[in-house]
Amino acid sequence: MKIRLLVIIALIAISSGAQAEGIPVLNVVSDGSQGSRYSVTMELLALMSMLTLLPSLLLMMTPFIRIIIVMSLLRQALGTGQTPPNQVLVGLSLFLSFFIMSPVLNTVYEQAVLPYMNNSMPIDKALSAAEIPIRGFMLNQTRQEDISAFMQIAGNTQAADSKSVPFSTLVPAFITSELKSAFTIGFLIYIPFVVIDLIVASVLMSLGMMMLSPMMISMPFKLMLFVLVDGWSLTMGSLASSFVMR
């Protein structure tokens, strides 16, 4: 709320200064060679509006969903409670997401951000150019059946191929595919730890120690197994390689 209030105050101040100097606050100029150009105030308003959507874009259009779910399931499989804490898991997921998205972000910077900053491309064409690599990344991770399902829900059957799918349909299909992939990976991670719990519970039952919690005995063995196989590096490497790059 405070950030939005500061943004509104800044925009009012810019608008007042622009009007005092005789500069049009909201102005769209049609350019025959490069399309439409917008005034600085309008572009600033659009950029500030995009900043408010940045958390949603980061969560829903990047590998963050798959990574954070797998990390949370891994913590539950280890039975360590709140260790690692949520801040560590979120930070790890963010940096791993930036690592996976670095080729896409570099392409967006070279093809959209840099030309826009050099005044060689208007903002509308820059946004269209930035959408191409992001759309390509999302299409590579989205299952075709999920795209077809949301196309039917939207009542749109005119898309000839996956590249012509509307962005409003691609985003929920991408999120659904990421959830499926995350729970599939989490299930595979859970299996060895469940086996350890079953073995410890069977041994305790055979020894007549029914009042002793199997989780308390099995957790050191699960931690030892996880450390011996270098579990964190193996998990993060497997997550990074699970994203299809074409």
What are the sequence ranges of the domains in the chain?
1-55, 61-241
Highest mean pLDDT among 58-62, 127-131, 183-187: 183-187
d(C-alpha 88, C-alpha 75), whole Å: 12
Closest CA to 141 of 104, 109, 108, 110: 104
40 pLDDT band, cuts 50/70/90, is: low
CA dihedral 106, 107, 110, 116 (to 10 degrees): -110
Residue with tokens 């005995």: 217
93-129 residue pLDDT tens? 888 888 888 888 888 888 887 887 787 777 778 777 8
Helix (H) or strand (E) holding 238: helix 231-241
All residues at 6 or more sequence positions from 213 whose CB lies less than 8 Å from its CB, including other chains = none
**Verdict on whether the full-model pTM lies above 0.85:** no
